[in-house]
C-alpha cells in the first residue's frame, strides 16, 4: 500500500508540474494573488531530498512559488508519519513518548483506547500550545511553501490553497474521539499509523519496531475542501 500511495503521489506531482504550464488563467491568478510581476517561466519537481515541497513554479523576475501536493479520493489522508521518538523529539513532546508508545501498543493489541481517559488532561496540556506547530510541521516541515495543492482523483480537479493563510486560520483546538484518537480542529488527527506491515511480517504487531506503531497525522481532505475555499481550481 505504501508503494502504491508513493506511486500515486509521484504521478500527481508530475501531473501538476506538466499541466500548470498550460493554465494561463490559473498562472495569471497566482501572479496577481502573490504580487508577482514576472511572467511564468517553468515548473519543475524538487525530488525526494527537498522536504515537503514537491513542485516549484519559477517566474522571470526571479520569484518562485513552491507547492506541496496531495492526492485524495476518500476522506482521511496521511500528511506525515514517523517513529514516535522522532515525532516527539522534533516537536518538543518528549514527555509524551512513553504515553504514545503505550497507546500504540495498546491499539495494536486491541486492548483499549489510543489515549486513555485518565491521560487526556495531561496530553491536552502538552499538545494544546503546540497544536499549530504540529500542523505546520506536518504540512510544510520548516519550509515556507506558498501553495497547498489538493488533487481530487474522483473529479480530476486541482485545488490550489494559500498555505500561509491556511495555517494562520486553522482551528487548532485539541480534543479526543471516543476511541482516544487525538483531534486537532475539524480536519486533523494524531493516531497510530496501523496497517498490516506487509514488509514486516516477522515483527510482532505489538512491537514498537513495527511500522504500524508509528505516529501518523491525518487530514480529512474531503471535509476540508467542502468548507475551505481555494484560491483557484482547474482541471488538468
Q: Output the pLDDT for position 196.
A: 64
Outline which parts of the chain fall under CATH 3.40.1350: 2-73+141-167+227-234
pTM value is 0.88
pLDDT (tens, 9 = 90+) of the chain, 236 residues, equals 445 555 666 889 999 999 999 999 999 999 999 999 999 999 999 865 444 568 999 999 999 999 999 999 877 888 999 999 999 999 999 999 999 999 999 999 999 999 999 999 999 999 999 999 999 999 887 567 899 999 999 999 999 999 999 999 999 999 999 999 999 999 999 999 987 666 677 888 889 999 999 999 999 999 999 999 999 999 99
Q: Output the pLDDT for position 159.
A: 98
Q: Output the pLDDT for position 51.
A: 47
Question: CATH number of the domain at 2-73+141-167+227-234, please?
Answer: 3.40.1350
Q: What would the DSSP string read from start to end of the chain?
A: -HHHHHHHHHHHHHHHHHHGGG-HHHHHHHHHHTT--SPEEEEEE--TTSTT--EEEEETTS-EEEEEEEEESSSEEEEEEE-HHHHHHHHT-GGGHHHHHHHHHHHHTT-S-SS-GGGHHHHHHHHGGGHHHHHHHHHHTT----EEEEEETTTTEEEEEEHHHHHHH----EEE-TT--EEETTTEEEEE-----TT-TTS-TTSTTSGGGSEEEEEEHHHHHHHS--SEEE--
Amino acid at each position: 500500500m505504501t508503494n502504491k500511495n508513493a506511486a500515486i503521489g509521484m504521478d500527481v506531482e508530475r501531473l501538476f508540474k506538466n499541466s500548470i504550464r498550460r493554465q494561463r488563467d490559473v498562472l495569471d491568478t497566482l501572479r496577481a494573488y502573490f504580487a508577482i510581476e514576472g511572467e511564468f517561466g517553468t515548473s519543475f519537481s524538487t525530488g525526494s531530498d527537498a522536504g515537503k515541497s514537491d513542485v516549484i513554479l519559477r517566474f522571470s523576475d526571479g520569484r518562485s512559488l513552491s507547492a506541496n501536493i496531495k492526492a485524495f479520493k476518500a476522506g482521511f489522508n496521511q500528511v506525515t508519519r514517523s517513529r514516535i521518538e522522532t515525532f516527539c523529539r522534533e516537536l518538543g513532546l518528549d514527555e509524551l513518548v512513553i504515553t504514545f508508545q503505550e497507546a500504540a501498543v495498546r491499539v495494536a493489541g486491541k486492548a483499549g483506547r489510543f489515549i486513555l481517559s485518565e491521560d487526556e488532561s495531561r496530553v491536552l496540556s502538552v499538545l494544546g500550545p503546540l497544536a499549530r506547530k504540529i500542523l505546520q510541521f506536518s504540512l510544510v516541515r520548516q519550509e515556507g511553501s506558498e501553495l497547498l495543492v489538493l488533487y481530487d482523483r474522483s473529479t480530476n480537479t486541482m485545488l490550489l490553497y494559500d498555505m500561509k493563510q491556511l495555517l494562520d486560520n486553522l482551528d487548532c483546538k485539541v480534543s479526543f474521539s471516543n476511541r482516544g484518537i487525538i483531534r486537532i480542529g475539524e480536519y486533523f488527527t494524531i493516531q497510530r499509523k496501523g496497517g498490516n506491515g506487509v514488509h514486516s511480517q516477522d515483527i510482532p504487531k505489538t512491537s514498537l519496531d513495527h511500522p504500524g506503531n508509528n505516529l501518523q497525522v491525518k487530514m480529512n481532505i474531503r471535509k476540508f475542501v467542502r468548507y475551505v475555499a481555494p484560491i483557484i481550481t482547474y482541471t488538468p
